[in-house]
Amino acid sequence: MPSKYPENTRLLIEEGLRKYFPKTRRPKEIYEAMSYSLFSGGKRFRAVLVVESARVFGRDPEFVLPTACAVEYIHTYSLIHDDLPAIDNDYLRRGKPACHTVYGEDVAILAGDALYSEAFRLISGVQEADDPRRIIWVINELATASGVAGMVGGQVVDIKSEGVDVDAETLDFIHEKKTGEFIKASVRAGAILAGATEAELDLLTDYAKYLGLAFQITDDILDEIGDTAVLGKTVGSDKRQEKATYPKVHGLEAAKEMAKLTTGNARDMLKGLNGDGSVLAGLADFVYERNY
């Protein structure tokens, strides 16, 4: 991992995922499929955001670990479903055959569904907070961001825009909903559990909006000029499916410039914070510089 990535946090999340993964093993197929996708690598970026956002307010990583792991469950769920033949039809994920390639479409769909429910079981059953209303608040934010007003809504417009000439506004809508809202909810979840005020949350929300946009622009650029072996997923998949992407709508060079600008904007939003935002700033740089 590059130096700006909080590797210790990533390792802590790996431990948390193992600790909280359901101990039941029947029916065997579904637990195997869930665990295959959950433990197949990945940057754990959204879970890292939960932990690092709470740390700004002086909270230990362990305090928000159940929610950080739940966020990773939801993310893994979205990847499993995204790769399905009915959606993006990708056979490679995190350098390995996609879940449906190994376990079949039926089990892969159910593994995604099960991870999604496990996420909310984990937060509602294990997460603690000084004020329990903050747990409900977090559940509401994550459900909204992953539902029709977020990931699902963005994905629908994404699918329906394949092969269509999409304008810049529609492109922004797709990515804000499909990727941005969940990144924003991850940042906010850590801060909410750590007891952030509305004013502090507003600053972090603006940071997260720029971060999510930079993340997606980089993702689109990597799909165009990245390396399949490094990325762990097939390069050129967007082009093959005639997807709306930043390089397609704005041109590759303009997209690179946009990624740089939005990363700078994300960093700027942290300046008003009272706590130490240096790790979050480093994560913005990571998003811009990443090659995977």
Residue choice 55, 59, 100, 178 for contact with ligand GRG (CB under 6 A): 178
What is the C-alpha separation between 259 and 218, in angstroms, rounded? 6
Which among 263, 183, 173, 186 has a CA at the least distance from the CA of 218?
A: 263
* Smallest distance, ligand GRG to C-beta of residue 131, A: 27
Among 102, 126, 152, 249, binds ligand GRG (CB under 6 A): 152
The nearer residue to ligand GRG, 179 or 245, going by C-beta atoms, is: 179
Least CB distance to ligand GRG at residue 175 (A)? 9
* Minimum CB distance to ligand GRG, residue 146 (Å): 4
Q: How far is the CB of 238 from ligand GRG (least distance, A)?
A: 11
Please identify, using beta-carbon distances, which residue of 87 and 249 lies nearer to ligand GRG.
87
Per CB under 6 A, the segment of 37-45, 166-174, 196-204, 281-289 that binds ligand GRG is 37-45
Q: Of 45 and 173, which CB lies nearer to ligand GRG in the complex structure? A: 45
Binding residues for ligand GRG restricted to 61-120, rule: CB under 6 A? 75, 77-79, 81-82, 87, 94
User: Could you tell me which stretch among 136-144, 150-158, 162-170, 273-281 binds ligand GRG (CB under 6 A)?
Assistant: 150-158
What gap in Å lies between CA 91 and CA 197, rounded to an integer? 44
Binding of ligand GRG by 5 (CB under 6 A): no
Binding map of ligand GRG across residues 207-246, x = CB under 6 A, - = no contact: ------------x---------------------------
Nearest distance, CB of residue 93 and ligand GRG, angstroms: 7
3-state SS string for the chain: CCCCCCHHHHHHHHHHHHHHCCCCCCCHHHHHHHHHHHCCCCCCHHHHHHHHHHHCCCCCHHHHHHHHHHHHHHHHHHHHHHHCCCCCCCCEECCEECHHHHHHHHHHHHHHHHHHHHHHHHHHHHCCCCCCHHHHHHHHHHHHHHCCCCHHHHHHHHHHCCCCCCCHHHHHHHHHHHHHHHHHHHHHHHHHHCCCCHHHHHHHHHHHHHHHHHHHHHHHHHHHHCCHHHHCCCCCHHHHCCCCCHHHHHCHHHHHHHHHHHHHHHHHHHHHCCCCCHHHHHHHHHHHHCCC
The nearer residue to ligand GRG, 200 or 238, going by C-beta atoms, is 238
The residues of the shown chain that bind ligand GRG, judged by CB under 6 A, are 42-43, 45, 75, 77-79, 81-82, 87, 94, 146, 151-152, 155, 178-179, 219
